[in-house]
Structure 1
Amino acid sequence: MLTGKQKRYLRSMAHHLNPIFQVGKGGVNDHLIRHIEEALEVRELIKVTVLNNCMEDRSEVAQQLAEGAGAELVQVIGKIIVLYKESRDNKKIELPV
């Protein structure tokens, strides 16, 4: 579980990132979750965009992605979801205590 200070730090790091995944009318599926897990292992912090044609609620999509990928939900703002998961092999981000 991330503290408020850690979430603020991750939000500041994510500000400059571009979204690398999009959730559309197909919604959340196993294929998308597997790709997000792989991307989190390499990058640790990613952004996901929820498109307008997605029929599900954005906060529900965020919860499904976080639980499915075993990641921490950092932020949902507008159509953007920020996810964080500490990498086993490529640890780059050092969280504040």
Structure 2
Amino acid sequence: MSTPLTAAQNRFLRGHAHDLKALLQTGGKGVTPAFLAELDEVLERHELVKVKVAAEDREAREALVSEIVGRTGAALVQRIGHVAILYRPSKDKRQIVLPRG
């Protein structure tokens, strides 16, 4: 289940993600178990991640991003072109403290 975010929390996370570089990229094979395992590990370590989605048309990109969000339980903070920003709080060491409301 994805993490629900308020509008203020979404703005806060977009500001934090502005200077981040994309850490992962989906390949021609789409969302593979290896990609999901790597993304799960990166989300646990960083909490806020940019992912580059390699799909040609908009519908394919949206489908891939929806699948990634559904299978990782992360919240989609923003999607611009080929880049999606995902947030999922760490189970062990939370680094990002979200504003209330």
* Superposition TM-score, scaled by structure 1 size: 0.91
- Of 44-53 and 11-20, deviating more is 44-53
- Determine what percentage of the aligned residue pairs are the same residue: 39
1:45 partnered with 2:48: yes
Conserved in 2, the CA contact under 8 Å of 1:11 and 1:74? yes
How far is the alpha carbon of 1:52 from its aligned partner? Answer: 5.0
Distance in 2 between the 1:14 and 1:93 partners? Answer: 11
After TM superposition, where is structure 1 displaced by more than 3 Å over at least 4 residues in a row?
none
Equivalent of 1:11 in 14, 18, 25? 14
Match of 1:32 in 2: 35
Distance 1:67 1:51, change over 3 A: same
Aligned residue-pair number: 97
Give the partner amino acid of 1:2.
Answer: L
Determine helix, strand or coil for the equivalent of 1:46: strand
1:2 partnered with 2:17: no
Match of 1:77 in 2: 80
- Of 44-53 and 81-90, deviating more is 44-53
RMSD: 1.8
**For structure 2, which runs of at least 5 residues remain unmatched after alignment?**
none
How far is the alpha carbon of 1:35 from its aligned partner? Answer: 0.8
Match of 1:92 in 2: 95
* Superposition TM-score, scaled by structure 2 size: 0.88
